[in-house]
Amino acid sequence: MILTLKIFSILFILNNIFYILNYRRLDKPFSQRDKNSILDLFFYFNKLLFVIWIIIGLISPMWIYFLIISSLILLRIPIHYLNKNLSTTLFRLTPIINIVVMLIFIIKG
């Protein structure tokens, strides 16, 4: 199970890198886009897999890494209502922090 989680970690690291490089296009609503590429659709499919991966990871022996990632994601919700500028900054930093946590999970786990 740990090996599967690590393989998916690599996939999600690539997904986060793709988001960092294309966040302007990916953050637009679908109605404002000209067309969606296959990579965009693959990105959103990976986002759905990411949620399932987090849930499965929380019941694994390496649950602390998944708790950190899910806490970062859930922390964005109250911050969004308290301070929009801080929320935007956190929203941009979350993929980088996720990459670091996933790399630690791959190396140490």
Distances (CA, A) of 66 to 16, 50, 58: 16, 11, 6
Comparing C-alpha atoms, which of 68, 25, 18 is closest to residue 47? Answer: 18
Token pair recorded at residue 75: 């922390």
Assign 15 a pLDDT band (cuts: 50, 70, 90): very high
Question: CA-CA distance, 67 to 26, in Å (whole number)?
Answer: 26
pLDDT value at residue 84? 85
pLDDT digit string, tens, across residues 20-42: 999 888 888 877 877 778 888 89
Question: Does the pLDDT of residue 48 top 90, yes or no?
Answer: yes
N-to-C CA span, the chain: 12
